[in-house]
Amino acid sequence: MDQAPAIRTPKKPGRSLLNRSFTTREIIFLAAAAFCLSPLISPPVALLMGLIAAQLIGHPYLHLNHKATHFLLQVSVVGLGFGMNVTSALKAGKEGIGFALISIIGTITAGFLLGKLLKIEQKTAYLIAAGTAICGGSAIAAIAPVIKAEEKQISVALGTVFILNSIALFLFPFIGHLFHLSQTAFGLWSAIAIHDTSSVVGAASRYGAHALETATTVKLTRTLWIIPFALLSAFIYRNKNSKIKIPYFIGWFIVAIVLNTYIPFVRLYAHSLTGIAKAGLTLTLFLIGSGLSGNLLRSVGIRPFIQGMVLWIIISAATLWAVIWLG
């Protein structure tokens, strides 16, 4: 789309940042991003704002979006750790590990079969299955270089996962209330059935504080499966020289929980730190939404989207039945 006329700022010597021109589009985008940091904007609204911005004005800093969302999400998740304690985190992790293992194996198997049935290119189907099984975009980003996936294959897989993530953020809290799920049950369900950590935390934060704690802990425990899955992928695709990205920020999340549990001084500032973390998460979702341009949505294609949607429905329905039955 054409750029709007530039609004020029007054020039000051020695201040190169102030010497550049800012377009109307950039100013609107930056104002919307700043507004997402206020308590008036919830995570789903921020995502919706980003989606609207992507279609109407586009993302003026799209080349920086992946790095920005990656960094903000990790910092926000670590900040959420200051609102948790060791005992409840261990309990949540223990409750979710069995679900995680079964769901990962089941999702990868179903994804392989669906890919064959729909005649989807093998690596694309594999990435969609990995993103659905483990942790969305993070899993795709980690697995793609291991299997030497092409740019188009990565884009299709990411587009599929991000579209379904956006739907989940709005749909899951509604279904949770419809089935009268407890805070623990919803946290467990969302952590397993929603792809990306950002949407998991966004949906759970709408449902309640305990749901958020359960969902975050279980999701990050699930994220650790990237490491063995990447090793398995390297073996399957005979690529022994690939580097595996280890999610080190999970260690800092654990440190934050320990500090909040055992250091009284840290607990004095826990509320402020978690508040900042939630604001960061809201901004992250705005940036994710603003990255879903029309071109990206059109590039997905019907068959990969069907594979991702069917996989998502299977894992969502199976996990929902399990948490209700076991609850």
- pLDDT value at residue 207: 94
Answer yes or no: are the C-beta atoms of 67 and 141 closer than 8 Å: no
What is the spatial distance between Cα 239 and Cα 145, in angstroms, rounded to a whole number? 10
- pLDDT value at residue 5: 43
Answer yes or no: are the C-beta atoms of 81 and 254 closer than 8 Å: yes
What is the spatial distance between Cα 208 and Cα 190, in angstroms, rounded to a whole number? 12
Answer yes or no: are the C-beta atoms of 308 and 96 closer than 8 Å: no
DSSP 145-196: HHHT--HHHHHHHHHHHHHHHHHHHHHHHHHHHHTT--HHHHHHHHHHHSSS
Each domain of the chain, given as residue ranges in start order, spans 90-244+297-326
| Region class of 58: left (phi > 0), else alpha (psi between -120 and 50), else beta | left
Closest among 244, 315, 251, 327 to 100, alpha carbons compared: 315
10-residue stretch averages of pLDDT, the chain, 327 residues long = 44 48 88 92 90 91 87 90 84 72 87 93 93 87 86 86 90 95 94 90 92 90 83 79 73 90 91 92 90 78 92 93 83
The tally of CA atoms less than 13 A away on the side-chain side of residue 321 is 6
| Region class of 148: left (phi > 0), else alpha (psi between -120 and 50), else beta | left
8: which strand partners?
21
- pLDDT value at residue 193: 92
- pLDDT value at residue 327: 63
pTM of the shown model: 0.78
- The residue written with tokens 């670590």 in the block is 78
In angstroms, what is the C-alpha Rg of the chain? 20
What is the spatial distance between Cα 25 and Cα 31, in angstroms, rounded to a whole number? 10
What is the spatial distance between Cα 320 and Cα 274, in angstroms, rounded to a whole number? 28
Measured at the CA of 127, the angle between CA 122 and CA 129, to 5 degrees, comes to 95
- Cα-based distances in Å from 110 to 146, 179, 327: 21, 26, 26
